[in-house]
C-alpha cells in the first residue's frame, strides 16, 4: 500500500490538534462532564475566562 506523504502529514496534524484540544479541555473540565447541555460558544467563553485568570486545573 502506498501512502501519500502529504495526506499522511495532514492526518497526523489533525490528530495532534485534536489531542491538544482534548488535553486543554481536561485541564478545566472533569472527565465525564456532559458538555452537550452547553453551546460551543458557552464552552469557549468559559475556557477563555479560566485561561485568562490563570485557573489551570480548576474544576467547576
* DSSP string across 15-58: HHHHHHHHHHHHHHS-TT--GGGS-HHHHHHHHHHHHHTT-TT-
pTM above 0.75, yes or no: no
pLDDT, position 58: 46
pLDDT, position 7: 80
Close Cβ partners of 27 (under 8 Å, ≥ 6 residues apart): 56, 57
Q: Is a pLDDT exceeding 80 seen at residue 1?
A: no
CA nearest to 59, candidates 39, 32, 41, 40: 32
pLDDT, position 54: 60
* pLDDT tens track for 4-59: 888 888 888 878 777 777 777 777 778 888 878 888 888 788 878 877 766 544 44
Amino acid at each position: 500500500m502506498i501512502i501519500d506523504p502529504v495526506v499522511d502529514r495532514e492526518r497526523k496534524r489533525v490528530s495532534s490538534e485534536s489531542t491538544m484540544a482534548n488535553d486543554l479541555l481536561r485541564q478545566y473540565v472533569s472527565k465525564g462532564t456532559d458538555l452537550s447541555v452547553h453551546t460551543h460558544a458557552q464552552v469557549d467563553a468559559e475556557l477563555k475566562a479560566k485561561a485568562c485568570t490563570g485557573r489551570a486545573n480548576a474544576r467547576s
